[in-house]
Chains A and B, each alone.
Chain A
Amino acid sequence: MEAYGVGVAREEERAGTFFHVDQSTLYSSVNELFKGKIELMDIREALQRYEWLSDYMWNAIQESSDFFTKKVAEDLSGGYFLRILPGAEVLFPLQSCLMITQEGMEQRIHNIIIAEENSKAHLITSCLQHSAVGKATHIGVTEVYVKRGAYLNSTMVHQWGDETVVRPRSASIIEEDGTFVSNYICLRPVMDVQMYPVAYCRGKGSKVIFNSILYGHRGSFIDAGSKAVLDGSESRAEMISRAVTREGSKIIVRGSIEGNGRECRGHLECKGLILDDESFIQSIPELIARSKSVEITHEAAIGRISEKEILYLMTRKLSKEQATSLIVRGFMDASIMGLPEALTAEISRIIEIATKS
């Protein structure tokens, strides 16, 4: 199951394990250790069990948004409902696996996550594809609700195949003093990813952080952006991305921060490395203000690796290739993600494997 061994190694350290293989849910279990702290079940089962859940379904995101959301609304393959109970602290990551094992299949997922008031959780989602599978499509709708005072850190690690088309469609609503950290890591070659998650900071003092580490290689196309709508007063948005392109890959990094509420703040940072003349990288930042009390900043830099740094490392007995991969690895710094130490180390290990191969 573990292609790169995403998440922490030991089963008992996972709050809940959920494998979504193909279009049917094979396995869903909640670890005994975390009983009373979270609820995790199939989305269809959850909708039957909780009548109120229909208020959350297609609420943060409209089913008519685009071609892909319509597809999911028409014919759902599955998905999960995850609820972190009020005041619960789930310090170990929840691991959910969404897997494609059949050639030519189109996976249509709808997930709902609710972080109840004053809860605190780290969630790791790993989407992966069986190595024997070629062409496939993944459409994933995820709606996230972060209630008053809750903290949710969600890390998505994509490990698709190079003939896979991926269309995640995510949106979140964050209430007063709630914090949502959304990390996206894409390291394996992928044919085509396009995503633009939106966070609505509705509550006073609500906060969203989008971090992404994108490694485009072997002709990958990655169009990954994020948008924050700061409606609540004193709400905050931070977007940090690191993008590396090589071997004829294209990466477009979009970012939009819309400051509507009083005294809201936002910062957008994009750093890109382009390693050859066949590749492409584009940064499209967008800052919008609707109040004079709004302050939003932006910084972006795209460049190549400095020859001086490479030579410096070569005087330390490294070959040019080793020096380059060391700098690329360092550039894709997992510590920007605000994860617990063990997870940062795990993500760093994955980055190391991806950049070596």
Chain B
Amino acid sequence: MDYLLEVKNLRVELEDRLILEDVSFGLRSSEIHVLFGPNGSGKTSLISAIAGLPGYRIVSGRIIFMGEDITGKSVEERARLGIGVGFQTPPEVTGVKLVDLLKLCLGKGSEDEFSAEEIRLIEHFRLQGFLNREVNVGFSGGERKRAEILQLLFLKPKVMLLDEPDSGVDVESLKIIAGEIQRYIESSGASALVVTHKGDILDYIKAKYGCVLLNGKLYCFTNPKRVYEDIKREGYEGCIKCQMKGEEKW
């Protein structure tokens, strides 16, 4: 089956420093990959490079999205094509109300109303009291993450790149966030790359692969929960060695 998103031998520099040496992987429709890796290993850089954020210079390699080479496309073009990014620390956008941004994500005008299903999701994310507040201004960690994932769901992307959607989030919020991500992946056929440090999220999403990013290289294995257990027991490097004895996907 064809990949929705395919990354081929990606080599990326940030401020003249080599961050990703040689990264390859592919996401098929309805698949979730979970990405582990120590701090500073380049997880955020990988997401940023795929999203096309400036500063991340692609030295070599290609990013293919739905059969099209998007390596040279702008952030906005990639977003329009269906690449959705959930930031680890979304910025405060002073003066812009959450309600207006949500409507923009849905492609609605400021006068348009939310549908019943959209209202259900807003309430499920417990954000109805935040609609008229400025985006992320004074939001707690969990509120920011809920607002971030809700925007993404409204954007209806084909591929979701989620940078630590579970960090700084309480158990209940994690259930809501991860549950809705899983529901969206199942119902839309979209796929997701989820960066995480914790295994809890694996209880709510059905991840197909567990990947480890270490020293600029990516290793993906078929059992994410075992990958996480190995990391806890053996460390990142030990996990890769241990898993390599089994089957490596990329």
Judge whether B54 and A311 touch: CB under 8 Å.
yes
- Our pick among B51, B91, B105 for the contact of A306 (Cβ within 8 Å) is B91
Interface segment out of the listed A181-189, A282-290, A316-324? A316-324
Answer yes or no: A72 CB below 8 A from chain B CBs. no
Answer yes or no: B93 CB below 8 A from chain A CBs. yes
Judge whether A317 and B76 touch: CB under 8 Å.
yes
Answer yes or no: B59 CB below 8 A from chain A CBs. no
Judge whether A330 and B94 touch: CB under 8 Å.
yes
The chain A residue with its CB closest to the CB of B51 is: A315
Answer yes or no: A327 CB below 8 A from chain B CBs. yes
| Nearest CB of A to B73, in Å | 12
Judge whether A316 and B93 touch: CB under 8 Å.
no
Known: A327-B96, A329-B95. A315 touches B134 (CB 8 A): no
Judge whether B53 and A330 touch: CB under 8 Å.
no
| Nearest CB of A to B137, in Å | 11
Answer yes or no: B183 CB below 8 A from chain A CBs. no
Known: A311-B53, A311-B75. A316 touches B101 (CB 8 A): yes
| Nearest CB of B to A256, in Å | 27
The chain B residue with its CB closest to the CB of A306 is: B91
Judge whether B51 and A327 touch: CB under 8 Å.
no
Q: Give Cα A332–Cα B93 distance, bound, in whole angstroms.
A: 13
Answer yes or no: A278 CB below 8 A from chain B CBs. no
| Nearest CB of A to B104, in Å | 6
Answer yes or no: B226 CB below 8 A from chain A CBs. no
The chain B residue with its CB closest to the CB of A349 is: B110
**CB-defined contacts of A330 to chain B, threshold 8 Å:** 93-97, 134
| Nearest CB of A to B132, in Å | 10
**CB-defined contacts of A306 to chain B, threshold 8 Å:** 91
Answer yes or no: A27 CB below 8 A from chain B CBs. no
Judge whether A314 and B76 touch: CB under 8 Å.
yes
**CB-defined contacts of A313 to chain B, threshold 8 Å:** 93, 96, 101
**CB-defined contacts of B79 to chain A, threshold 8 Å:** 314-317
Judge whether A312 and B95 touch: CB under 8 Å.
no
Answer yes or no: B189 CB below 8 A from chain A CBs. no
**CB-defined contacts of B95 to chain A, threshold 8 Å:** 327, 329-333
Answer yes or no: B151 CB below 8 A from chain A CBs. yes
* Per-residue contact bits, chain B 53-76, to A (CB 8 Å; 1 contact, 0 not): 110000000000000000000111
| Nearest CB of A to B167, in Å | 18
**CB-defined contacts of A332 to chain B, threshold 8 Å:** 95
Judge whether B76 and A320 touch: CB under 8 Å.
yes
- Tally inter-chain residue pairs, CB-CB below 8 A: 61
**Contact residues on B (Cβ < 8 Å of other chain), bracket:** 20 to 34
Judge whether B94 and A331 touch: CB under 8 Å.
yes
Judge whether A316 and B134 touch: CB under 8 Å.
no
**CB-defined contacts of A311 to chain B, threshold 8 Å:** 53-54, 75
Give chain B interface residues in 97-145, CB to chain A under 8 Å: 97, 100-101, 104-105, 107, 134
Answer yes or no: A326 CB below 8 A from chain B CBs. yes
Answer yes or no: B155 CB below 8 A from chain A CBs. yes
Answer yes or no: A309 CB below 8 A from chain B CBs. yes
Which of A311, A315, A319 has the most B CB atoms < 10 Å from its CB? Answer: A315
| Nearest CB of A to B236, in Å | 29
| Nearest CB of B to A210, in Å | 20
Q: Give Cα A307–Cα B53 distance, bound, in whole angstroms.
A: 11
The chain A residue with its CB closest to the CB of B79 is: A317
Q: Give Cα A309–Cα B93 distance, bound, in whole angstroms.
A: 6
| Nearest CB of B to A242, in Å | 9
Q: Give Cα A277–Cα B74 distance, bound, in whole angstroms.
A: 25
* Per-residue contact bits, chain A 90-130, to B (CB 8 Å; 1 contact, 0 not): 00000000000000000000000000000000000000000
The chain A residue with its CB closest to the CB of B154 is: A316
**CB-defined contacts of B101 to chain A, threshold 8 Å:** 313, 316
- Our pick among B76, B90, B96 for the contact of A326 (Cβ within 8 Å) is B96
Q: Give Cα A265–Cα B98 distance, bound, in whole angstroms.
A: 34
- Our pick among B51, B80, B134 for the contact of A317 (Cβ within 8 Å) is B80
- Chain B contact residues, CB within 8 Å of chain A: 51, 53-54, 74-76, 79-80, 84-85, 87, 90-97, 100-101, 104-105, 107, 134, 151, 155
23 residue pairs of the A-B complex, CB under 8 angstroms, read: A309-B92, A311-B54, A311-B75, A312-B87, A312-B93, A313-B96, A313-B101, A314-B75, A315-B51, A315-B75, A315-B79, A317-B76, A317-B79, A317-B107, A317-B155, A318-B104, A326-B100, A327-B94, A330-B93, A330-B94, A330-B95, A330-B96, A331-B95
- Chain A contact residues, CB within 8 Å of chain B: 306, 308-309, 311-320, 326-327, 329-333
The 4 closest A-B pairs by CB, nearest first: A330-B95, A330-B96, A314-B75, A317-B79
